[in-house]
Amino acid sequence: MKKKINQKIKIDGHYFRQVVENVNVGVYTTDRERRILTWNKGA
């Protein structure tokens, strides 16, 4: 069961990254102090 959950997380994470990298809008993440950690090409 734990292995299935870990596999699903990997697949979902990969899917999410692909979507974020291929949208034409800016997407970025920040830490709690609002420092930008990551951004995509649209940003």
pLDDT tens across 9-39, in order? 676 878 888 888 888 899 888 999 999 988 8
Please check the confidence at residue 5 and state whether its pLDDT lies above 80: no
Confidence of residue 1 (pLDDT cuts 50, 70, 90): low
Strand partners, 30: 36
- pTM (global) more than 0.85: no
Give the CA radius of gyration of the chain: 13
Residue 42 near residue 28 (C-beta atoms within 8 A) = no
Distance spanning both ends of the chain, measured CA to CA: 38
